Chain A
Amino acid sequence: MMKRDWTPREADRWTGADTLAVILSPVIYFLILLGFSMAFMLKVSGFIIVGATVVLTIILAKIINPKLDAISRGYEEKQKEYIEELENKLKWMD
C-alpha cells in the first residue's frame, strides 16, 4: 500500500492503493464537515475528529502521491504528441 517507487506502467493499473484512496477520501470529507462544525462549537469531540482528519489526510497523501507522481511523469512524455493528435481530430465527423 505504501509503495513509493512506482513505474508509470505499474501506476496505470488499479491497485490496492487506489482502492484505499477512494475509501479514505470520502471518509475524510465526511469528517471535515462533521469535525469542523463541532470544533467551531468548541466541542472536544470536534477537535478530536479534526485531528483524526489531519492524520488520515497525511496517510492518504502518502499512499497516493507516489502513484500520482509516476502517472504524471509517464504521461508528460506523451502529452505533446497527444495534443497534436487532438487538434487533428477537430474536424466534424473526422
Chain B
Amino acid sequence: MTSQRLTRVGVSASTLVLLASVAACGSSGPSGGSGGGGGEGGTGQVWALQDTTLNPIEEASIERFNEQSEAGDFELATFGNDPYKQRLRTAIGSPQAPDLFFNWGGGNLKEYVDAGTVEDLTPLLDENPELRDAFLPSVLAGAELDGKNYGLPMRGMQPVVLFYNKSVLESAGVEVPETWDDLLTAVDQLKAANVTPIALAGNQAWTELMWAEYLLDRVGGPEVFQNIRDGVEGDWSQPAVLEAMTMLKELIDRGGFGTEFASVGYDVGGASTILAQGDAGFHLMGSWEFVNQLGQSPDFVEAGDLGWAPFPAVTGGEGDPSNLVGNVSNFYSLTTDSENKEAAEEFLSTALTDETYIDDLIAAGDVPPVTGVREKLEEAENSEYTTFIYDQTVDAENFQLSWDQDLAADEATEMLEQLSLFFLGEQTPQGFVDALAG
C-alpha cells in the first residue's frame, strides 16, 4: 500500500467514525423522533422540567393545541433540574435547540437574552392586549428585561411560605410568629419541648437560601439585593447584608435548625417528612410544598395539621412585611432560531390562558397567575390554601425571584457555596460578606 492510499483510507475511516459519533449525539437528543427544531412545519420542541404532577397537564395542553391548530405541532421533552440547565445551555444556538423552553425569568433568563437567543415577545403582547391583561402584571414582569417581555407565565406562582405543624406548635404552647422576635421565642419553646424547631433540607443550599432572602428583604428592603444583582449602587458589602446574616447566625447558633440539617435532603424522607411526623415545628419552603405534603403525607394535611403563614416581619426593618421571595412563576420563552415561530406564538397566546389548562393547574393545587382566577380557586379543593397564596402574591409590594435564579450562574454557584459554609458554622457573617464582595 502506498502512503497516499493509506492516507486516503485513514481519512475516510476517520470521517466515517466522526459521522457515526455525530449521528449518535443526534439521536441521544430529547425524547421523540425529529431531533431538535425540525424544519418548517415540522414538530416543534417544548422543553420543561420533570414534574410528575404538571407534566401530564402540559402534555394535555400541547395535545389539545396540536388538534385544534393548523399552524404546526409541538411535543414536550422533560428533564431533571440540573440536567435541564446543562442541556439547555449547550443546546441553545445549536440545531438541537428547542422552540419553547421553560425558565425562571429574571437573571437566569437574562443570560440567554444577552446571548441573543430569546425572542422578544413584546410585539405579540402589543398585538393582543387581551393576552397581556390575562396575566397578573406583577408576575408578567418576572420575565421582563429592560421593558421588553421575554416569556409568558406557564404555571402557578410559587412564593416561599412558612409552613408549620399545628399540633406540634399547640403542644409546645407556641403561637404562629408575626415578628422575628416571636420566631426566636418559638425556637426556644420548641427546643424545650424536644422537637427540632425548624426543619431544613440543608444538604442543598437553595433551601438555606430562602432564609437569607427573606431576612435580607425584611431588614434592608428589596433594593439591597437588586443593587447586588445589577452591580450598580453597592455589592454584598452593603450594611444590611451583614445585619441580616448576623441575625441568621443567631438563629442557627440558637439551635433553630437542630444539628442534623446538613445531611437532610428535600426528597422523599426529607424535611417535609420531618415536619409531617411532628419532629419539627416549622418549615420554610416554596408553595409547592403543599402539593408535596398532600402527596407524601395526605393524613397530615387532611387532619388539618399543616399550617401556613407569611414570613415574620422584622421590627424596625426597611422591607415591607408583605414582600415575597421565591419563584414568581415559570415561563415559556421562544428561541430566536425557532423554525416554528408562528405556531409557537399561537401556542403562547392561546394555550397558556386556555380554560381547561387553568382548571387542570388549579386541580393540581397550583395557583395560576391569571386575572380573575380567585373565584375559581374558591370553588376548587384546598381553597383555603390556594386563595392564601393568591392573595399573598396579589398584595405583595415586591416579589423577589430566588437569588440563585436571579444572579448569573457563576455568581449564584459561589453564593450558594458560601451560604452552605455559613450554615455549617465554617463561615462568619463578615466572612460571608467578604467572600462575596471580594
Q: Do A and B bind each other?
A: no
A residues in contact (CB < 8 Å) with B: none
